[in-house]
A and B are shown apart, each in its own frame.
Chain A
Amino acid sequence: MFDLIRNFFTALKALVKGSRTYYIWVGFLSFLAILGGGAYIVQLNKGLIVTAMRDQVSWGLYISNFTFLVGVAAAAVLLVVPAYIYNFKPIKEIVLFGEILAVTAIVMCIMFIIVDMGHPERVWHLLPIFGTMNFPRSLLAWDVIVLNSYLCLNIFIVFYVLYKISHNEEYSMTLVRPLVILSIPMAVSIHTVTAFLYNGLPSRPFWNASILAPRFIASAFCSGPALMLIIFQIIRKISRVEIDNKAIFKIAELIAYAMGLNLFLFGAEAFKEFYSGTVHVAPIKYMYFGLHGHVRLVPWMWTALACNVTAFLLFLSPKKREDFFFLNLACVLVITGVYIEKGMGLVVPGFVPGTLGEIYEYSPTDLEIMVTVGIWAVGALFYTLMLKMAVPIYVGDLRFSTSKNEKQ
């Protein structure tokens, strides 16, 4: 009991004590989070009327972010595969940070779903046993299950490993390895199920393309690792964590392949739509050329495409991707490109033109953007605090006491 209290304070101290930059960073994020929280309270009071979503485009920025973040969460697996299956040492050591990112991303996903709901207090209706989960018919029920399982799995791995290290104990590979290996199909499944969520709606021809799930996976394997590359460099800079360049370059190489595949799949989809030229071409035409004079998405979509192509070329050349300027540039381009393509560029065209042919040009309201920024701030804060604990444990600065190791 005494240990527990003491360890709690040790942990608290680890979180509270930090450099000036740390305080500024945490303060900044908290400010954004509070702003977002305030905006959300307004939304709760007035209803989703404060967003730009309407019957014609009934999902918007929130669900776009959700989709993007599921991809980020799934991409943690890209690190796990070489680390554990091929035993690629340099990556193995940083898997932990990837998994913390996955946990963060899923938490953010859940927040984005909650803020999108008309009745968040009824969320328990979704649960099995307590509520009436429509499993297995509804893909949203599947998504609830896989996302939460993936979250639990990653939380368990992260906390188990950190706990063991922080108590100077060896973690059991016989326990961790099967869980880590299990997380690989789980990661693929969270993103596949999310893709199927859209895919299974024949009323929306833009989503009802079987290429959607592979495209989701491919783009996730670009954006997730790109985000991680940037985070790893920051971690390496501000802490004593050593991350081998080899690991970073390997991940960059993997991003190049994933982006190549992503562009190929996009090309396949674009060919099919434009060449056949049926009525189902309307959404993709809306995205890249505009429809009946409605062109709001056009500049965004071309920006995304340009980002993705440039990043692909940069990552493809070993010389460029091993130059940190170009590497980071390419990472930013990938994140931007995929965020547009898989966020608004995926959700909005599903609704434009609407099922009755109506074109409503959605563009999020300030309040919607505030809530979104707030959730991103909460996510960043969560990840920062997690790292604030995990990094010292990882490098050996932070240790918890138990009666056992005290005796030793």
Chain B
Amino acid sequence: MRIVLILIVMFFFTLLQPIVVVATHEGSHSNKSGESKVERDLPKYFVPPPPFSEGIFPCSDCHADMEVNPTRRKLEMFHTNIELKNHAEDQRWCLDCHNPDNRDVLRLASGKLISFEESYYLCGQCHGTIFRDWKAGVHGKRTGEWNGKKVYRLCVHCHNPHQPRFKPLVPKPPPVKPIDIR
């Protein structure tokens, strides 16, 4: 009786074998036999909240009762300090990212609405490779524990979304020359 059972199991196993082989083969292709994947899962840790200017959020405080004006124009009453610069300003405008109907959220190109805490999805629409590097922990500043709780930052913690180029910094003093070390 037991022999029959074993034979049946073996038969099924033989049938399955080509499939199993293909699967592991494919697996090793995409995953280099267990090595790291190119595409990483989303990070678990952030530094909340997003770095809003003082008193600006929630946007609905002002925008809730305002009518949406979808015309592309230069803002003259409010937000005059915001200038799109070095960020494809010819192609885009406020409402390409800010959701017109509810200003407290952002809107992806697909129409999907996301919170400001998830703004990386918005940036990731264009900056796919950077988004990928960021998820892996390679783009952007990382603090915390290398083998524990890693603290991530949102894109906007380092890059002003309207003028994303990194601002030059004052360098720390140069080292003392050997001749001056006494």
A and B touching (Cβ–Cβ under 8 A): yes
Residues of A within 8 A of B (CB): 49, 54-57, 360
- CA–CA, A57 and B178, complex, Å: 9
- The 9 listed contacts between A and B (C-beta, < 8 Å) are A49-B181, A49-B182, A54-B178, A54-B181, A55-B178, A56-B178, A57-B178, A360-B178, A360-B179
Q: Which residues of A contact B181 (CB under 8 A)?
A: 49, 54
Q: Which residues of B contact A360 (CB under 8 A)?
A: 178-179
- CA–CA, A365 and B179, complex, Å: 12
Q: Which residues of A contact B179 (CB under 8 A)?
A: 360
Q: Which residues of A contact B182 (CB under 8 A)?
A: 49
Specify the chain A residue showing the minimal Cβ separation from B182.
A49
Specify the chain B residue showing the minimal Cβ separation from A55.
B178
Q: How many residues in B have their beta carbons less than 8 Å from beta carbons of A?
A: 4
CB-CB nearest 7 A-B residue pairs = A54-B178, A360-B178, A56-B178, A54-B181, A49-B182, A55-B178, A360-B179
CB distance from B176 to the nearest CB of A (A): 10
- CA–CA, A49 and B182, complex, Å: 6
CB distance from B181 to the nearest CB of A (A): 6
Q: Which residues of B contact A56 (CB under 8 A)?
A: 178
- CA–CA, A144 and B181, complex, Å: 32
Q: Which residues of A contact B178 (CB under 8 A)?
A: 54-57, 360
Name the residue in B178, B179, B181, B182 with the highest tally of chain A Cβ atoms < 10 Å from its Cβ.
B178
CB distance from A237 to the nearest CB of B (A): 46
CB distance from A212 to the nearest CB of B (A): 26
CB distance from B171 to the nearest CB of A (A): 18
Specify the chain A residue showing the minimal Cβ separation from B180.
A54
Task: Identify 7 new A-B residue pairs, CB closer than 8 A, beyond the known A54-B178, A55-B178.
Answer: A49-B181, A49-B182, A54-B181, A56-B178, A57-B178, A360-B178, A360-B179
Specify the chain B residue showing the minimal Cβ separation from A354.
B178
Specify the chain B residue showing the minimal Cβ separation from A50.
B182
Specify the chain B residue showing the minimal Cβ separation from A49.
B182
Contact with A along B160-182 (1 / 0, CB 8 A): 00000000000000000011011
Q: Which residues of B contact A49 (CB under 8 A)?
A: 181-182
- CA–CA, A56 and B181, complex, Å: 12
Residues 77-93 of B contacting A (Cβ, < 8 Å): none
- CA–CA, A201 and B87, complex, Å: 51
Residues 135-182 of B contacting A (Cβ, < 8 Å): 178-179, 181-182
Specify the chain A residue showing the minimal Cβ separation from B179.
A360
CB distance from B168 to the nearest CB of A (A): 25
- CA–CA, A54 and B179, complex, Å: 8
- CA–CA, A121 and B72, complex, Å: 79
CB distance from A85 to the nearest CB of B (A): 50
CB distance from A283 to the nearest CB of B (A): 18
- CA–CA, A323 and B123, complex, Å: 90
Q: Which residues of B contact A57 (CB under 8 A)?
A: 178
